[in-house]
Structure 1
Amino acid sequence: MSVFEIQARESFGFSAENPTGTHAGGTRGRDCEKLRPCIQIAPGETVTLCDTDGPGMITHMWFTGYIGHSFVLRVYWEGQEAPSVEAPISAFFGCAYDENFKDRDGKYPVLSAAPILMAPGRGYNCYWEMPFRRHCRVTMENRGDKEQTLYYMIEGWKGEISPAAGYFHAFYRQEHPVQKGRAYTVVDGLEGKGQFVGLCFAAGMNGHNTCWVEGEPKMYIDGGEYPTINYTGTEDYFCGSYGFGNDILQKQYQTFSGLYAGLYAITGNDSSEMYNGQQRFLLYRFHIQDPVYFSRSFRMTMDNLGWTGPRYDDYTSVAYWYLDRPAALPAELPADGELIMQ
């Protein structure tokens, strides 16, 4: 659909000023008067941000305020009891190391991709298209021990949905640290027909670096014993090469942020000694131009490997995919105190 094509659709927008998302349901304030720009979420409280009938589609979500890992974002499709999207909000938006507000250059990390944008000041934006047929509900839970502030906007439209449209899913996983000698599981247990569309990824170095990107990402499709899609290295999967520049010429990692892939931020000690810094890397790879299709099942793993052999770094990821039906996620979240992302 081109933006200039007129559609039989009705726009909606859920926010603190219009919590029902209804037509003409926004502020009753006068010009230049703010009445309710944000909400407060108490410890242990879950707030419904969007609750609407379909058919329709979410096209944009924006959040700021407190946006650390104690806030958990969930999305439920078609009245299901289990969410199909569940992740700490920071990791969902590619910022798993949410306590680090500046990168190695002293600036806000900026992720500038097609489906996700993290702007300076921690403005989180999601442009993944999320169709639904009967019902959609979006919630935010505060799993921390302090009341926190949330600013939000969830936009979309009501209208006809293609019969071929799948349901958006997102799944959080971490290993702090990865078990040495065993591949990290990005996602497993996906059943049905759909397509894998990418992940946000964070890697925290433990010990001497030894070129941590030697590990191979592997995708197992429709029950295959061996991977169908097998990359040659971690930086290759994220569309880089030669240790993101650390192997050659400048001898240091260089960040980049493209429409579909990037190593957009490095935090922590960026030692000038080759491969010897205790950095924290924030990366993403979105399969928008190259979705990975499966008919029955899908799983993905990623080795944690350096020049000297298997490693034991801290890996954190959020995987994204579309499925032909709403489905519960393959595992539960770790406890809030286990989400150590510094």
Structure 2
Amino acid sequence: MHKDELYRIKDEQTRQLTTFNLSTRHKTIWVRRGETVSAGEVMGEGYIAQIWITFPGWFWAHWDKDKPVSQSILKTLIMKIYWDGAKIPAVNAPVGDLFGNGLCQMASFGSSRFGMSSGGFFMKFPMPFKKGFRIEFENKDSIIDTDVFMNVLYQLDKLPEDSGYFHAQFHTGRNDGPSPVLIADIQGKGHYAGCSLAMQGRDKNYLSFLEAPEYIYIDGGQSNEPTIVGTGLEDYFLGGWYFREGVFTGQHHGVVVKDALTSSVAMYRIHETDAIRFRSSFRMEFINPWKAEHLLPFSYSAVSYMYVNTPEGSGPPIPALEELMCWYRIKDTDHQSTP
């Protein structure tokens, strides 16, 4: 719903999928290490209007003092959403990355479409479905068992013919410095609606990975030349000079973490009227123009948000735990990864 249409009286049926079981009085679903658990399924036509979740494990649980604590659960708890009976999830990403910060740490902020609200996680991208949807959580952590609280508010109604399916595609890994940073790669017709991106240099006090402009290839491009190219990575996120004044959060763009000493940055941008349209394919990556000998290794993880004309997911599978936990340093833990 466009904000200017808030006054309209619509003939929609509002419902909510929740983990609260009225029969047992249990508020959560238990997601143990190594398990994938269904959080619920809905049949019908309409759209998800809001998702909210929370879960323990990344903070000290005062009600169970002996429980282990690891912020890694923000990366190793995976959320999956399937549309219209598709076999591959269109949304498939770690919770931290999906809701705006992939650095395995909380950073309270709110944008127009997603954020972290002092312990909660919310998303307000409208997500259409024609036959129904199913939500799953997978726990890939090696230490933490967790339980998920979830409320998904949805509207049942006849969809416009041109409604697209919401996709969230996850990419991650370690980069030698000059190699492209892949953000999205998808086939079909639709539009790109933004991304969240977290990055961390191997060496401390290093941010030169922010020199990389965006390269966007629409409908295959021509002669492998980008259709759209920018001037720098922080420029794409509407900042400047390596985010000189530090963190900020806005409705459509922001930097939720900037720590120059640990070479860590987490940022997001949302496209609305500036959505990038494609008819057959879309690919986006950041490529550093500097010579390879002037660049140092870094890690990254990204989620791209798109609307596409197919319910079937097409992103890569979530990688094995070692690749998923690609960070060199995780805040407030003893975890140190080998460079």
1:132–1:167: 8 Å Cα contact kept in structure 2?
yes
Deviation at 1:211, TM superposition (A): 3.5
User: d(CA) in 2 for partners of 1:70 and 1:317?
Assistant: 14
1:50–1:154: 8 Å Cα contact kept in structure 2?
no
Deviation at 1:5, TM superposition (A): 1.4
SS of the residue aligned with 1:96? coil
2:285 paired residue number: 301
Deviation at 1:210, TM superposition (A): 5.6
1:94 paired residue number: 100
2:70 paired residue number: none
Deviation at 1:96, TM superposition (A): 1.1
2:173–2:324: 8 Å Cα contact kept in structure 1?
no
1:43–1:142: 8 Å Cα contact kept in structure 2?
yes
SS of the residue aligned with 2:243? helix
Match of 1:316 among 301, 325, 334: 301
* Residues 1:202 and 2:188 aligned together: no
Task: Say how many residue pairs are matched.
Answer: 303
Deviation at 1:327, TM superposition (A): 2.6
The within-5 A match list for 1:150-165 is 150-165=148-163
1:52 paired residue number: 42
2:318–2:324: 8 Å Cα contact kept in structure 1?
no
User: d(CA) in 2 for partners of 1:184 and 1:117?
Assistant: 23
Deviation at 1:132, TM superposition (A): 0.5
Match of 2:122 among 106, 118, 125: 125
If the length of structure 1 is used for normalisation, what is the TM-score? 0.83
Unaligned runs of 5+ in 2: 57-72, 331-339
Match of 1:11 among 4, 9, 14: 14
The within-5 A match list for 1:277-296 is 277-296=261-280
Deviation at 1:119, TM superposition (A): 1.2
The within-5 A match list for 1:162-181 is 162-176=160-174, 178-181=175-178
The within-5 A match list for 1:125-274 is 125-145=122-142, 146-176=144-174, 178-188=175-185, 190-207=186-203, 209=206, 211-224=208-221, 225-245=224-244, 253-267=245-259, 270=260
Deviation at 1:69, TM superposition (A): 1.8
User: d(CA) in 2 for partners of 1:110 and 1:265?
Assistant: 10
C-alpha spacing 1:50/1:94, structure 2 compared with 1 (3 Å): same
User: d(CA) in 2 for partners of 1:256 and 1:304?
Assistant: 24
1:248 paired residue number: none
C-alpha spacing 1:16/1:40, structure 2 compared with 1 (3 Å): same
User: d(CA) in 1 for partners of 2:207 and 2:40?
Assistant: 46
C-alpha spacing 1:4/1:28, structure 2 compared with 1 (3 Å): farther
User: d(CA) in 2 for partners of 1:124 and 1:304?
Assistant: 32
User: d(CA) in 2 for partners of 1:210 and 1:17?
Assistant: 44
1:38 paired residue number: 28
Deviation at 1:3, TM superposition (A): 2.1
2:192–2:277: 8 Å Cα contact kept in structure 1?
yes
What CA deviation, in whole Å up to 9, does each residue of 1:107-153 have, x standing for no partner? xx222210002112x21000011001012111111222442121111
SS of the residue aligned with 2:209? coil
Superposition RMSD in Å = 2.0
User: d(CA) in 2 for partners of 1:283 and 1:305?
Assistant: 21
1:81 paired residue number: 87
2:87–2:312: 8 Å Cα contact kept in structure 1?
no
What CA deviation, in whole Å up to 9, does each residue of 1:59-103 have, x standing for no partner? 1111111362221110111111111110111111122112x34xx
Q: Percent identity?
A: 27
If the length of structure 2 is used for normalisation, what is the TM-score? 0.84
Deviation at 1:175, TM superposition (A): 1.7
User: d(CA) in 2 for partners of 1:44 and 1:243?
Assistant: 39
1:114 paired residue number: 112
Deviation at 1:10, TM superposition (A): 1.1
Give the letter for the 1:59 counterpart.
Answer: A
SS of the residue aligned with 2:154? strand
User: d(CA) in 1 for partners of 2:187 and 2:288?
Assistant: 26
C-alpha spacing 1:241/1:180, structure 2 compared with 1 (3 Å): closer
User: d(CA) in 2 for partners of 1:210 and 1:244?
Assistant: 10
Give the letter for the 1:191 counterpart.
Answer: Q
Give the letter for the 2:88 counterpart.
Answer: A
SS of the residue aligned with 2:240? coil
SS of the residue aligned with 2:211? coil
2:201–2:207: 8 Å Cα contact kept in structure 1?
no
1:304–1:312: 8 Å Cα contact kept in structure 2?
no
SS of the residue aligned with 1:243? coil
What CA deviation, in whole Å up to 9, does each residue of 1:272-300 have, x standing for no partner? xxxxx223111001112310000111100
Unaligned runs of 5+ in 1: 19-26, 30-34, 102-108, 246-252, 271-276
User: d(CA) in 2 for partners of 1:77 and 1:135?
Assistant: 6
